[in-house]
Structure 1
Amino acid sequence: MKVRTLKQNKVNVITLGCSKNLVDSEVLMGQLRANDFQVTHEAKKSDANIVIINTCGFIDNAKQESIDTILRYADEKEAGKLEKLYVTGCLSQRYKDELEEEIPQVDAYFGTLELPQMLKVLEADYKKELVGERLLTTPKHYAYFKIAEGCNRPCSFCAIPLMRGKHVDRPMEDLVTEAKRLVGMGTKELILIAQDLTYYGLQAYGERKLPELLERLSDVSGVDWIRLQYAYPSQFPLAALDVMRERDNICRYLDMPLQHISDNMLKTMRRGITSRRTKELVREIRDRVPGIALRTTLIAGHPGETEADFEELCEFVQESKFERLGIFTYSHEENTHSHTLVDDVPAEVKQERADRIMEIQQQISLDYNESRVGQTYKVLFDRLEGGYYVGRTEFDSPEVDNEVLVLATNDLHIPQGSFANVHITGASDFDLYGEVVR
């Protein structure tokens, strides 16, 4: 079929999956822009002649979304609306051969670490001098900040090492340079991400360097908030908590996926930590950083999870009262250790267990939010939506956590990306309401 004439070298990048994928797309877009391509991210207007889909291959639902997206744009290509279609990211890394056979309309598939090869196919140069530069897809006042790639952890259920490879640290000097560059672009909040933040330094320096990295990033002028996501509990570098407590611009916030609490499940999941040590760590974190908001993630229905294991998990959630909590139902992933086990928890039981955990958490979150009514917090405002200025406290990460809503009145103007002190006047399960202190 004849392809209609489109504007040359206009690329639309589609990102699926996690914030780490988003950073990869931003780096790709920065490279393309430097090669004189017009670049858009998830543009609603279909006027690009090239589409690049950055896929997720983490769990079943994410894989299906990636496949559906590829098929949709493959249809557009067959209809003559696209000249070129490329696929990259985790799904492409993991299932390249199968995808090439099943969806041949795609011009080329690339793995997670094949950016130079992709640029070559696009007849663009990989510009090494741009390392650390990217086109932000988030509002400019916050940026996801990837400090390492890959993972060395042996978790039984996780396919990330298959898709991302072994842990590789980014040099500390490069990270400081990137932080300064982002500040120059208007970024106020750095959200540190990696498959495992706490492993940082072991590959490049032979010792854990997260505390030192936090100090150096905290010293960068113009960084108002630094937030830690995706910390691993086993061998947690406690000195990082001391830095958090001592530095005003490091948020009292920690995202630390625990996955489970029963010793039976922790052993089966190959988490490298016991129930007792997990509980001790949670207490120690809260002792060292009073008022910290702890976010965790759990898995319901891993092979071998008994009713007793699940009841123990429920009790742990109830007792620990995590300020933020999410839960996944177990996904049986090929080539993981868990895939050698019988997936013996029925899908409906997995979902029932996940729902029960969230019911417990809903009440915990409501109680926590109601305890904040009457207090005043520094809030970073992300957007104006539905008649409200919407922002976050230091205890909340974008998109996954609570938000603070301030009624947008005629006499109130809060620019996107600005801070304001907000007096909390009301609370719901997962949001706060307040008034700007003038």
Structure 2
Amino acid sequence: MKTKTLRPDKVNVITLGCSKNLVDSENIITQLKANDYAVSHDANEAANIVIVNTCGFIDLAKEESINTILDYADRKTRGEIDKLYVTGCLSHRYKENLEEEIPEVDAYFGTMELPGLLNRLEADYKHDLIGERFITTPEHYAYLKISEGCNRTCSFCAIPLMRGKHVSRPIEELVRQAEHFARNGVRELMLIAQELTYYGLDLYKTRELPRLLEALAAVEGIRWIRLHYAYPSKFPREIFTVMAAQPKVCNYLDIPLQHASDAVLLRMRRQITRAETEDLIRHARAVVPGIAIRTTFLVGYPGETEEEFEELCQFVRAMRFERLGVFMYSHEEDTPAYGAEDDVPAEVKADRANRLMEIQKDISLELNEARIGAEMDVLIERKENEFYVGRTEYDSPDVDNEVLIPASQAYLRTGDFVRVRITGATDYDLEAEVVRE
């Protein structure tokens, strides 16, 4: 019998940025493993080849990416690694600048240049691996990227510059990948894209996210399907009908709204008004009672006045979102907003972000306290000190609430679903006891 021999090189893939970048890294790892490379992800152990998958979304993300590249470039200069490659959004957007400023990197690649990266490593791109993917997340959940790119024209956003136009993946291909995940123990699928609701328009000439959800829900072994990164304008409302009817589709929607002042929304080119947004939220809550809506807002956009910011605060108080995050505006070159003056001082942006989160903190506590006494299903994520830590269907990993269950009550395993009763609440977490396993 012929023995499979690994290449002598070992590769460490470093991922920066969002879950969409993580999926790209997982595809890199999958291809390299199929080419007999030993590959690790964000590992501390020695590797002689390093691939840094960068983020270029906002200033803080770009700074982190550049610092990471510089760190590994320094390690290469000291002889600690042999080869250093850079890929991802920052590399796609600023390749020529990076080549000039950090020449220690052996090669830079854009977001769509995986075959070129593999070729540089003398590895073949294996088309037969489409539908399969090594995952770096805990084995009970995986991200499923249903499309690439974005056709929206939001004035502040550089993503179309780095990711190109919207391209949907066929339903059949996504179902095959979901089946592969399920066979390998995945219980929860998190659907991600730059813009979920546009799914299918390029392939099928109609918005087909509802049909995709029905197809994925038919995959045996998958228990939860979660929706991330929807766009509010022209939202296909039949998604809520599917969510209400299909138990596997979590009553959860991540829908970044960005602002609530009509004047700011117009400058942002968001193609929606506050009234239309409120109508969409009311419709969602009417069709799917108890739905958890996660949103994000952008403060400090050029020209944002105190009055416009107060409109946003009033909107958040009125809508009482279950989950909320805030970003401070980053002045991104080559975006339409770059032509305007970045006239909101950094300290004002930070103050507005903090004020908005203080409003949300009180809302979150009130909503959490209202759950005390309720029974809920919880997916166990990990054991931490004297507690098991889990999530409800209303919570996505890393960004949302967690449920703390005393470890003395029962023996639970990561990836288990358990029934609990909520016994206590804090601003962003719940406490619970096991009702039954």
Which TM bucket (shorter chain)?
over 0.9
Question: Which amino acid in the other structure matches residue 276 of structure 1?
Answer: A
Residue aligning to 1:421: 419
Question: Which amino acid in the other structure matches residue 31 of structure 1?
Answer: Q
The TM-score, its normalising length taken from structure 1, stands at 0.97
What is the deviation of 1:135? 1.3
Residue aligning to 2:262: 263
- Within a 5 Å distance, the mapping from 1:201-280 to structure 2 comes to 201-280=200-279
Quote the RMSD (CA, aligned, Å).
0.7
Residue aligning to 1:112: 111
C-alpha distance in structure 2 between counterparts of 1:386 and 1:89, whole Å? 36
C-alpha distance in structure 2 between counterparts of 1:158 and 1:188, whole Å? 33
C-alpha distance in structure 2 between counterparts of 1:39 and 1:66, whole Å? 21
Residue aligning to 1:393: 392
What is the deviation of 1:9? 1.8
Check whether the contact 1:94–1:163 (CA below 8 A) recurs between aligned residues. Answer: yes
Question: Which amino acid in the other structure matches residue 176 of structure 2?
Answer: T
1:251-275 deviation digits (Å, cap 9, x = unpaired): 0000000000111000000001111
Say yes or no: does 1:297 pair with 2:296: yes
Residue aligning to 1:158: 157
Question: Which amino acid in the other structure matches residue 64 of structure 1?
Answer: E
Question: Which amino acid in the other structure matches residue 414 of structure 1?
Answer: L
Residue aligning to 1:322: 321
Say yes or no: does 1:38 pair with 2:38: yes
C-alpha distance in structure 2 between counterparts of 1:140 and 1:197, whole Å? 24
Unaligned 5+ segments in structure 2 are 1-6
- Within a 5 Å distance, the mapping from 1:325-336 to structure 2 comes to 325-336=324-335
Residue aligning to 1:26: 26
Aligned residue for 1:424, secondary structure, equals strand
Question: Which amino acid in the other structure matches residue 149 of structure 2?
Answer: G
Say yes or no: does 1:281 pair with 2:275: no
Question: Which amino acid in the other structure matches residue 56 of structure 1?
Answer: C
Aligned residue for 2:326, secondary structure, equals strand
Residue aligning to 1:3: none
Question: Which amino acid in the other structure matches residue 169 of structure 2?
Answer: R
Say yes or no: does 1:437 pair with 2:428: no
Q: Give every structure 1 segment of 4 or more consecutive aligned residues whose post-TM-superposition deviation is greater than 3 Å.
A: none
C-alpha distance in structure 2 between counterparts of 1:191 and 1:74, whole Å? 34
C-alpha distance in structure 1 between counterparts of 2:223 and 2:417, whole Å? 10
C-alpha distance in structure 1 between counterparts of 2:172 and 2:155, whole Å? 34
1:48-71 deviation digits (Å, cap 9, x = unpaired): 110000000000000000000000
C-alpha distance in structure 1 between counterparts of 2:20 and 2:374, whole Å? 34
What is the deviation of 1:247? 0.5
Residue aligning to 1:405: 404
Residue aligning to 2:64: 65
What is the deviation of 1:353? 0.4
Question: Which amino acid in the other structure matches residue 183 of structure 1?
Answer: A
Say yes or no: does 1:149 pair with 2:130: no
Residue aligning to 2:49: 50
1:380-432 deviation digits (Å, cap 9, x = unpaired): 011111221000000000000000011111x6211110100011111000000
C-alpha distance in structure 2 between counterparts of 1:236 and 1:317, whole Å? 20
- In the alignment of these two chains, the number of paired residues is 430
- Within a 5 Å distance, the mapping from 1:48-197 to structure 2 comes to 48-197=47-196
Question: Which amino acid in the other structure matches residue 12 of structure 1?
Answer: N
C-alpha distance in structure 2 between counterparts of 1:111 and 1:134, whole Å? 20
Question: Which amino acid in the other structure matches residue 9 of structure 1?
Answer: D
Unaligned 5+ segments in structure 1 are 1-6
1:335-385 deviation digits (Å, cap 9, x = unpaired): 000100011111100110000000000000000000001111000011111
